[in-house]
Structure 1
């Protein structure tokens, strides 16, 4: 039978000639001792359970701190990697822009060189055409002179190979 504080307070012992009934008092004291012993055991068990729960709670808190620190570290690392990737991307873009500008400048210079070469070639062609036309004109003129000379030579031959006629005088 569980003993409560009310049981202890309300317990009344019968009086006998020389005081309380000794057996009832001893029985009640044994019951009180058993109840107190049981209460102490339960209290110790509860204390152990409490301590185990407190240790478990501290372990969970420690794990939580570790997880929070790991998460914070992972976030910092992710931010660092992101910043590093951003810097690398910006460097690559700057290099690409610089290379594109170099290629563009090289292309412009090549275009200027080609345009100058085209102009020189046009001038050379025009000079060549002018010289060729002058040469052709000179050859035509020479051919004309030769034709004229050939005509004169023919007429002279024709005169020298024919017998002199009556109107021609002999010297």
Structure 2
């Protein structure tokens, strides 16, 4: 049975002839009461401390649960962000690969178009060269049939047709440095039949409209140095 200090203090005992001394019994009761009072106070303090500790444990438990939830949420968010980043990176890689393939395909098509245009230009250049040589040969043939004053022009055109522009320039320079020839009285005019294949008026119009190929004949009548 548990007794409080107050119960020990109020406890009364019966009297007998051979009983204990009252003073000694009262002193002992006082000591017991004091001990019980100390134990009672200690128990009260322990209970209060236990309650405080229980409250702290409850708070820590709640905090632990909150931290667990936060960690779980953070981990879930990190996994979702990682998955989203992975999907976006894969999408970017696919788009970049598709774009690169389109660029390569377009570059290949453009190269084919440029090569085709280059072949057409080369064919046009060859055709123009052939037409120009044929036209120049016709002019040379006509100039060979005219009087000797046109011999230099025929020689220049022949040199252009034969592909010797440097010789033409040297010939022009030496002719410029040579003394002027003595002009003789022109012979009687003689009628020269124009070949059917040559029309001076059409030649003039064609020569003014025909493009001069690069590297063949400069505007001054001589090819530039290469």
Task: Please report the TM-score for the alignment, with normalisation by the length of structure 2.
Answer: 0.54
User: C-alpha offsets along residues 90-119 of structure 1, whole Å, 9 cap, x if unaligned?
Assistant: 222222221121111111111111000000
The 5 A counterparts of 1:1-171 are 17-146=17-146
Cα distance in 2, alignment partners of residues 118 and 62 from structure 1: 82
Q: C-alpha separation between the residues in 1 aligned to 2:91 and 2:128?
A: 54
Structure 1 vs Structure 2 CA RMSD: 2.5
Task: State the structure with more CA Rg.
Answer: 1
CA distance in 2, matches of 1:155, 1:38: 166
Alpha-carbon distance in 2 for matches of 1:156, 1:65: 127
Cα distance, 1:145 vs structure 2: 4.0
**Residues of 1 paired with 2:64 and 2:129: CA distance?**
94
The match for 1:13 is none
Count of residue correspondences: 138
TM-fit CA distance, 1:155: 8.9
**SS of the residue 1:20 aligns to:** coil
Unaligned runs of 5+ in 1: 1-15, 148-153, 158-171
**Structure number with higher relative contact order (C-alpha < 8 Å, ≥ 6 residues apart):** 2
CA drift of 1:27 comes to 2.3
Q: Distance in 2 between matches of 1:156 and 1:29?
A: 177
Query: Shift in Å at residue 43 of structure 1?
Result: 0.6
CA distance in structure 1 between the partners assigned to 2:189 and 2:67 by the alignment: 128
Q: CA deviation at 1:34?
A: 2.4
Instruction: Name structure 2 gaps, 5 residues minimum.
Output: 1-15, 148-186, 191-226
Structure 1 pair 156/63, CA: closer, same or farther in 2 (3 Å)? closer
- Secondary structure class of the residue paired with 1:32: helix
Shift, 1:89, TM fit? 2.1
How far apart, in 2, do the equivalents of 1:112 and 1:28 lie?
A: 123
TM-score normalised per structure 1: 0.69
**Distance (Å, rounded) in 1 between the aligned partners of 2:88 and 2:130:** 62
